[in-house]
A and B are shown apart, each in its own frame.
Chain A
Amino acid sequence: MEITPFLILSAGLISIGLYGIMSKKNLLKLLISLDIMDVGVNLLIVTVGYLPGGTAPIMDGDYGKYVDPLPQALVLTAIVIGVSVLALGMILTIRHYRRTGSLEMDEGGVFGW
């Protein structure tokens, strides 16, 4: 299987997420951008572990060729961490909204002091 589309996709998702983070001020859009980046990186990690012609690393029967199992374990961890950060981000957004009545970020965006 040709691997380049997956590399384009993961690099693309990461940079789309970065674009969102740099250009948006709406907190929900920022959280969505973070999630898009996360998906891109997870895709990259899985792609790194791909082995042409390999099967899932479950030793049931003799297939002889398995994909690299370690990235799959890493991605599991990365997904759970992404969910956790997103959950906390949602709560912070809710509290921010209750206090200010707005979903805009204060202090002039992400990169200012």
Chain B
Amino acid sequence: MVVHPTLLIVLPLVGAFSVSLIRRYGGGAIKLYGSAYLFLNLIISAVLFMEVRSGGEVTERIAGYSPPVGIFLAVGAVNAVLVLLINLFAAFNYLTFNPKDKEPFHRFTVLYLLGVASSSGIVLTGDLFNMFVFFEIAAVSSYALVASSKDERSVGSAIKYMILGSVGSTFMLISIALIYSELRTLNLYDIAHRIGEMGGAVRTAAFTFLIVGIGVEAEIFPFNGWVPGVYGRSDGNISSFLVLGPSKAAIYAILRVLITLFYGSSSRAVMMDIAMVLGLITLVVGEVAALSEKDPKRMLAFSSIGQMGLILIAISLGSAAGIVAAVFLMVSHASVKSALFLSSDVYRQGGMRYTLTGALSVGAVLGLVGMPPFAGFWGKWYLLSGAADEGLWIVIAAVIFTTAVEAYYLARFLSRGLSMKKRGGVKPTRVITMTVMVGVSLLVGLFASVIYEMVSAGVTTLLSGGI
């Protein structure tokens, strides 16, 4: 083990605890301090990624006790990709915040660092209750970040988010209590190994409560009432953080539940079908709602719901192709959707006409629709081929239909944005961050074989109950 995955969680905590000590040096110093931790995290996650790529899974025990007696972190191919993705974009996204807009900036930095640390924690941990704790950190910091937006109505949206999120976390706790009463363990892999010993009714209930609980954060259909309000009223760079951090971690948690936790249970097929149906509804409802939405931010929010539905469909295929597709879709969504949210703040000010922002937005839209050579193309490609393998024609039809819808409203979004005649300034930091995001989507698409080989090697162990 070259690096300790724990550091990805603990270092931002150290940064968050200590940032108030340097607040008298002003916003610039605080920003430097926060970025230092985020970029350090980025390096660590890159090293971890290389390590998983060359040597397979990495595990780390906490406090020296072997799981399930203690907690452990389990990094396989899928979450190595995801944790690198989250830390990469989170670090660059942090640069777009202006200390003067977010007074007092040291408090803002604390919330941001904790949001990043907890998203990494959800992705890395191998323990169900530990995952719940990280979910709560991510949720609480998101509520506060959303409420700090310029649009004062965002407070109302944050309240709604908070209430739905708290109901979700209560449901997660109910599920944890049910699983614990049957198995007396909280370790994901221990539960997965012994899932067959659970009573049928209790297992179904545990599954339902867990999917509903995580589904709130993962924007799955009937539990996502908070999404349009929160994304529609938050600042663009806060929405982009929510897209690239907590919501990606949440959809990954769903992957863990479906693929690792309940994969071995006898009613697995029914559970996968339920998830597939939820994903289909989420996809279609989200995309159709986006089509009828005029406000650019709310449109992006509905589109985000649709994308999450797409990822859920890919996961619930339950096959190797499905998981590979889910990884590409997560990369695509985190990169280009965040870039679009960053551009949404200057949308009305005409900041997209004849500027680099405009060019990058065009790239992001192409990536989102799934044009080659962007990552989104491979996501949809593997999803369609996976669905064709299993003869799921309804999935293929839904994906093609929603892609057409998506292309239509995103083209409308672009043409309106590019034709605004006003001249507005765009901060150079935003342009840099957007370049990184769109660039990553492009690079992952061009060198898709790197991710493909790594993930499909990892998927084999994942599907056989390993890490």
Interface residues, chain A, with chain B CB atoms under 8 Å away: 14, 17-18, 21, 27, 30, 34, 37-38, 41, 44-45, 48, 68, 70-71, 74, 77-78, 81, 84-85, 88-89, 92-93, 95-96, 99-100, 105-107, 110-113
Contact = CB atoms under 8 A, between A and B. Distances in A.
B47 interface: no
Contacts, number: 96
A81 B416 CA distance: 45
A61 B208 CA distance: 43
A110 B170 contact: no
Contacts of B228: 113
Contact of B136 (A85, A89, A96): A85
B140 A41 contact: no
A90 to B, nearest CB: 11
B170 A14 contact: yes
Nearest to A113: B228
Contacts of B153: 106
B166 interface: yes
A21 B177 contact: no
B133 A77 contact: yes
A48 B180 contact: yes
Contacts of A41: 170, 173-174, 177
A34 B170 CA distance: 9
A92 B155 contact: yes
A95 B152 CA distance: 9
A107 B157 contact: yes
Given A48-B180, A71-B180, A34 B166 contact: yes
A81 B184 CA distance: 22
Contact of A21 (B147, B152, B163): B163
A69 to B, nearest CB: 11
Give 4 closest A-B pairs by Cβ, nearest first: A48-B181, A106-B156, A41-B173, A81-B136
Contacts of B289: 113
A67 to B, nearest CB: 13
Given A105-B156, A105-B159, A14 B174 contact: yes
Contacts of B177: 41, 44-45, 48, 71
Given A92-B162, A107-B156, A110-B160, A21 B174 contact: no
Given A92-B158, A105-B160, A112 B173 contact: no
Nearest to B298: A113
6 contacts: A18-B167, A44-B177, A68-B184, A89-B163, A92-B158, A110-B160
A55 to B, nearest CB: 19
B174 A30 contact: no
Interface in B390-433: none
Contacts of A17: 170
Contacts of B159: 27, 89, 92-93, 96, 105
A95 B225 contact: no
B164 interface: yes
Chain B interface size range: 35 or more
A45 B173 contact: yes
Contacts of A95: 147, 155
A45 B174 CA distance: 8
A54 B400 CA distance: 60
B129 interface: yes
Nearest to A37: B170
A92 B147 CA distance: 8
Nearest to B133: A77
Interface in B216-261: 222, 225, 228-229
Contact of A78 (B143, B164, B167, B173): B173
A65 to B, nearest CB: 16
Nearest to B181: A48
B392 to A, nearest CB: 29
Interface in B173-205: 173-174, 176-177, 180-181, 184, 186
A60 to B, nearest CB: 23
Contacts of B147: 92, 95
Contact of B225 (A48, A74, A89, A111): A111
B225 A21 contact: no
Nearest to A17: B170
B289 to A, nearest CB: 8
A78 B140 CA distance: 14
A54 to B, nearest CB: 14
Contact of A88 (B133, B140, B156, B167): B140
Contacts of A84: 136, 140
A74 B173 CA distance: 10
B278 interface: no
Nearest to A38: B170
B11 interface: no
Contact of B163 (A30, A81, A113): A30
A47 to B, nearest CB: 8
Contacts of A78: 173
A78 B225 CA distance: 25
Nearest to B224: A113
A99 B152 contact: yes
Given A85-B139, A99-B155, A100-B156, 14 more contacts: A14-B174, A34-B163, A37-B166, A37-B167, A48-B180, A71-B177, A84-B140, A85-B140, A88-B162, A89-B166, A92-B159, A106-B156, A107-B157, A110-B164
